[in-house]
Amino acid sequence: MTPLKKIPIECRSIGLSYDGGKTEVLKDISLRIEPGEFFALLGPSGSGKSTLLRLIAGFNRHQRGELLVDGRDISATPPHARNIGMVFQSYALWPHMTVWDNVAFGLVERRMSKAVIKQKVGAALELVGLSQYAQRRPGQLSGGQQQRVALARTIVIEPQVLLLDEPLSNLDKTLRVQMRQELLALQRQLGITTVFVTHDQEEAMTTADRMAVMEGGVVQQVGTPAALFDYPVNAFVAGFVGTTNLVQGEIAAGTGNSLSFRAPALGELALPATSADALPGKATLSFRPHTVKVARVGDACEHRYFWLDGKVEHGEFLGEFVRYHVRVGTMLFAADQLHHASMPGFTTASPIRLGIDVSQIRILAA
Ligand code: ADP
């Protein structure tokens, strides 16, 4: 298949409500998806991901704002005139048609010649590795193969944009992991701007160039997976992209290079005054379990950590590491310890010391 022109998608202050303006499902969405990007919309169920995706496809209509594809406002363009391909969670294949006819369907509808259809369907099936299954019906294929038929049927029309609505959620875990790599390889090969909806943060992080985290119809943050993981802007993003410990407290005016953070759970903690938005007042600290050092009482404690004494409530064995849930006063903290064979662990109720790496603490708006 010929490489496609890579085009950008831009949402400008988009607002959408289903019930005549009473409840806004999308609130002032502004984001730009770069040409050729593999972009994920990530968020919990009901956050507005599918509504936004369907809006790009033209199945939903926004009441406010602009939707630009390749620089042109297509808000009033009907779905069939948008040149956008969408793969649904359910695949929506025709059960009575062969794989070949399913893939050819869109081309037949567009009244292409038999020779062109033959060439394009052949190429699309080859691209998804299903040439030898052309004469089967969808019911005679595995879930992963059906997914690939749905993909072939979408890309065969050579859309400018590929939209994927939870495309892997019907597959079992092993297949999902394999298919997400296939999907990414295919996207890279075609260079097609792709928007991918998922509620699975691992799926988004392992595939997306960048992602938007949504909650309550609002884009909370946009960035690369690493940027969102390392520098979340609020407690929602910190907790949704990975696991985190949150401590609420108050920042007092700093002296020199440090800020003083006070929380009933921790006492007073000196933080490096590197965060420009860390103004005096209420704030929440976030630090990830893998950045917390775990030590026995009596072990030498490095000075660069802020040490807390606690008691293990329980440990979760996850293979590569053990995640300890540790009671410190009224708080429960999660701390990870890398695991190796025959390494002694901490049992429930053991005293334990947690070393918080101050450089890994993020200050979030309260
Ligand atoms: P997500 O894809 O993140 O799970 P959706 O975009 O499907 O979220 O839904 C966002 C919100 O819009 C939800 O509260 C949902 O109940 C509501 N919603 C979705 N579709 C409709 C509809 N056709 N009519 C009314 N409300 C809807």
Residues with Cβ within 8 Å of residue 107, at least 6 apart in sequence: 116, 117, 120, 121, 156, 157
pLDDT tens-digit series, residues 198-229? 999 999 999 999 999 999 999 999 999 999 99
Q: How far is the CA of 234 from the centre of ligand 1 (A)?
A: 24
| Cα gap 52→198, rounded to integer Å | 12
Q: Residue 168: what pLDDT?
A: 84
> Considering the domain 9-235, what is its CATH architecture?
3-Layer(aba) Sandwich (3.40)
pLDDT of residue 128: 87
Q: How far apart are CA 319 and CA 183, in angstroms?
A: 28
Classify burial at 258, counting beta carbons within 10 Å of its beta carbon; exposed 0-12, middle 13-18, buried 19 or more. Answer: middle
How confident is the model at residue 341, as a pLDDT? 93
Q: 45 C-alpha to center of ligand 1: Å?
A: 9
- For residue 245, give both structure tokens: 């410990």
CA distances from 353 to 138, 224, 336 (A): 57, 33, 12
pLDDT at 1: 57
Residue 262 to residue 268: CA distance in whole angstroms: 5
Using 70 as the pLDDT threshold, list the residues of the chain that sit under it: 1-4, 253-256, 273-278, 366
H, E, C per residue of 84-119:
EEEECCCCCCCCCCCHHHHHHHHHHHCCCCHHHHHH
Q: Is the CB of 49 under 6 A from ligand 1?
A: yes
Domain ranges of the chain: 9-235, 243-365
Predicted confidence at residue 13, as pLDDT, reads 97
CB 139 within 8 A of CB 70: no
Closest Cα to atom 13, ligand 1: which residue?
46
Closest Cα to atom 24 of ligand 1? 18
Q: Which residues contact 125 (CB under 8 A, 6 or more apart)?
A: 99, 100, 103, 131, 133, 134, 152
* Residue that the structure tokens 């391909």 belong to: 85
State the pLDDT at residue 3.
57
What pLDDT is stored for residue 202 in this prediction?
92
Alpha carbon distance 238, 364 (integer Å): 9
For the CA of 214, the nearest atom of ligand 1 = 3
Q: How does pLDDT run across 289-314, given as a tens digit for each residue?
A: 999 999 998 888 888 898 999 999 99
CB 59 near ligand 1, within 6 Å: no
pTM check: above 0.85: yes
- Report which ligand 1 atom has the smallest distance to the Cα of 197: 2
- Write down the CATH superfamily of domain 243-365: Nucleic acid-binding proteins (2.40.50.140)
Q: Which atom of ligand 1 is nearest to the CA of 48?
A: 6
Q: Is the CB of 198 under 6 A from ligand 1?
A: no
